[in-house]
Amino acid sequence: MKATRIIVLAGPPCSGKSQLAGLLAQELGIVHLAMDDFRKRLMPDSDHREEHRQIAYRAMHMAAGLLLERGFDVIIDATYIRTVHREELGQVALRAGSSIFLIECHVVPEEAAARFRSRGKGHAGIDLTEEIVSKLASNYPYCRKGLALETGADSATCVRRIDEYVDSGRPLRPGDWS
């Protein structure tokens, strides 16, 4: 069986994770697991409290583990602000013998706020405000491993940079991200 990969797009809200992950999944023919989708489907009336986030992360990681064990690569997009979620995904990768390619999506606060304003009413991030989005963009805990991607560039350029990074064959080392 071939070695599997987890391609993670992490970063603050409104940093372009979901859009880029969707484009990349379509280009590569890889399953895309999105935190917002898991939370919406599992708990459609959630107020986004921490225990609800924990349930959604666990479910997403369980789905990733099952896919990896069956030989599928996966793309995951989530904020991954909490160390516990990073460590949990690391354990999933370890159990499946998979590599993690981390793309940290960087966005300036003004751009994050503008993206937030342009979101539709049905977006899963009901707990967010323009002020919170700007603050998270300013204070996101980047680990500076993997690929640091400025998402202000056009989508095609961002996807090309991600492709180059994944093709480089230089995934994270165990423990690099937690």
Residue 144 is assigned to a structural domain of this protein: yes
Residue 35 has pLDDT above 70, yes or no: yes
Are the C-beta atoms of residues 17 and 77 closer than 8 Å to each other?
A: yes
Residue 176 is assigned to a structural domain of this protein: no
Considering its fold, how many domains does the chain have in total? 1
Give residue 80's pLDDT band: very low, low, confident or very high (50, 70, 90): very high
Residue 49 is assigned to a structural domain of this protein: yes
**Angle at Cα 69 formed by Cα 63 and Cα 73, nearest 5°?**
75
Residue 172 is assigned to a structural domain of this protein: no
Give residue 1's pLDDT band: very low, low, confident or very high (50, 70, 90): low
Q: What percent of the chain has pLDDT over 90?
A: 74
Rounded to two decimals, the pTM is 0.92
Residue 150 has pLDDT above 70, yes or no: yes
**What CATH number should be reported for the domain holding residue 161?**
3.40.50.300
The boundaries of the domain holding residue 64 are 5-167
